[in-house]
Structure 1
Amino acid sequence: MNVLVVGAGAMGRWFADAVRADDVGIAFADPDDAAASAAADAVDGRAVPLDTDESFTAVCIAVPIPVAVEAIATHADRAERALIDVTGVAAEPVAAMREHAPDRERLSLHPLFAPENEPGNVAAVVDAAGSTTDAVRDALTARGNDVFETTADEHDRAMETVQAKTHAAVLAFGLAADPVPEEFQTPISTVLFDLLEQVTGGDARVYADIQDAFDGAEDVAAAAEELAATDADAFGALYDRAGDHR
């Protein structure tokens, strides 16, 4: 099997490393030729131009969310058997794969962790299964990941909470917080500051793409306003409502 990974960022590199084997050849294509070459070298693969006329057993789209649909349309014809995406959103890529690769296997994957935190849960929208996508899922499972099936709609609804709302809440805390000496920290504030460090230690563009792709930040803002405006008698009801989501 030979695999083309479109996108030489963290997710593309993770996917290539996960599926590489003695009988799997990896190629990378990226607008940044140097990034494609570095990613290829890391997995004993090769770099190819973005406009390559080669075909591959499988093509994996590992690009930022805003350009996922365009990348699928551009590279779908290079997939002989399977088209896969690891962009982090499901509904639009799955629809694009159906349109541009109707007769091929189609799989949308979302590792719910940063590559350095593997193994973990991997959401899988299996839109059209086959031996190639089965082999990919088996390779991820062999690395200790829990690959679970879901639908595009269920995945994207979940991301509104576990990504968009979560990131908005952590960043809002960071924007509102004042510096506090260590001796004043509580167990809860320590956790929040640790989360803030983790979120702000990444790539702002990735977090911006998530906020643009999924609803949720407005709900966090509305909830904060409701808490700020409530009186002591009504606070208990809000407190209980929040606890219902544990």
Structure 2
Amino acid sequence: MEVLIVGAGAMGTWFGEAIADDPSIDAALTFADVDEDAAERAAETVGGTTADLEGTTTYEAVCVAVPMRHVEESIERHARRAERAVLDVTGVMATPLEAMAAYADDLERASLHPLFAPERAPGSIATVRAREGPVTDSLLSALESAGNRLVETTAEEHDWAMESVQAAAHAAILSFALAAERVPEGFQTPIYDELERLATYVTGGSPRVYADVQRTFDGADAVAEAARAIAEADDEAFESLYDEAAERWSAREGVDDGETDVQNASRSANGGERE
């Protein structure tokens, strides 16, 4: 199967590796990227070739693996190079699927979102099969054979979920990273340690990727509003907010004395006092 991968970054390379490793497809992979050196490196990694972004050669399948902000224009430009299928691995779903319907309505279409960084593969992949067929079925089967789990969803459900899974989560962690200080050894609690670990992980990535998430999905404003409400709350209001959070996350379910496992651990670490 001849596959053109538009975008030779980490996610495009991951997709190429997963497909190249499946002998049932016998994939011939080609990379095209604004960074020709990146395309060369990705092609070398999977034993593929490179192509010009303005080329006219066609392929059985075209996979778009560009930053979210460029997915619509990329599909508009490159869907014409697909003979049978178009798919994307950009992280947003409504926008690329609408573009595919507009520019590749007669082709197989699928949107995929690997819910992990490429270096942590395999993992769960959110999957929307807008128009199924043998080409997309083969590609998805190859991803499953590589150990990934396909999570079937809709564009609406996925993009709604990403408001919490990505936008709100990233905003909360980055806010902690900006507001908190590193403390001397011995002062850490289990909760602080976990937040420090998450802050270190998030700030070790690409700011452009996280900026794209905030630009694409709502969620950060809700985090800011919640933090403001907590900061301004008196004791009664704080307890009400705490109870609302506990009820939403079922934090007290199955835990004696209204404490979560993390709270119990924190209390033990602090000589019996609540954190």
Fold similarity call, TM over 0.5: yes
Partner of residue 14, structure 1: 14
- State percent identity of aligned pairs: 53
The one-letter code sitting in structure 2 at the alignment partner of 1:31 is V
Partner of residue 121, structure 1: 124
Deviation at 1:234, TM superposition (A): 2.0
The one-letter code sitting in structure 2 at the alignment partner of 1:216 is G
The one-letter code sitting in structure 2 at the alignment partner of 1:146 is R
Supply the distance in 2 between the matched residues of 1:97 and 1:153 (Cα, whole angstroms). Answer: 16
Supply the distance in 2 between the matched residues of 1:245 and 1:61 (Cα, whole angstroms). Answer: 37
Spell out, residue by residue over 1:186-216, the C-alpha distance to the aligned partner (whole angstroms, 9 max, x if none): 0000000000000000000000010000001
The one-letter code sitting in structure 1 at the alignment partner of 2:144 is T
Partner of residue 203, structure 1: 206
Counterparts in 2 of 1:210-221, with a 5 A limit?
Answer: 210-221=213-224
TM-score by length of 1: 0.98
Q: How many residues align?
A: 246
The one-letter code sitting in structure 2 at the alignment partner of 1:15 is F
| Over 3 Å off, 4+ runs | none
Spell out, residue by residue over 1:104-154, the C-alpha distance to the aligned partner (whole angstroms, 9 max, x if none): 000000000001111211000110011111111111111111101100010
TM-score by length of 2: 0.88
Supply the distance in 2 between the matched residues of 1:147 and 1:161 (Cα, whole angstroms). Answer: 20
Partner of residue 185, structure 1: 188
For the pair 1:36 / 2:49, whether they are aligned, the reply is no
The one-letter code sitting in structure 2 at the alignment partner of 1:6 is V
Counterparts in 2 of 1:44-63, with a 5 A limit?
Answer: 44-63=47-66
Q: CA RMSD in A?
A: 0.8
For the pair 1:147 / 2:150, whether they are aligned, the reply is yes
Deviation at 1:58, TM superposition (A): 0.3
Partner of residue 171, structure 1: 174
Residue ranges of structure 2 left out of the alignment (5+ in a row) = 250-275
For the pair 1:84 / 2:77, whether they are aligned, the reply is no
Spell out, residue by residue over 1:152-205, the C-alpha distance to the aligned partner (whole angstroms, 9 max, x if none): 010000000000000000000011102201210000000000000000000000
Partner of residue 73, structure 2: 70
The one-letter code sitting in structure 1 at the alignment partner of 2:16 is A
The one-letter code sitting in structure 2 at the alignment partner of 1:186 is T
Decide which structure has the larger Cα Rg and report it: 2
Range 17-26 or range 33-42, more displaced: 17-26
Supply the distance in 1 between the matched residues of 2:62 and 2:192 (Cα, whole angstroms). Answer: 44
The one-letter code sitting in structure 2 at the alignment partner of 1:87 is T
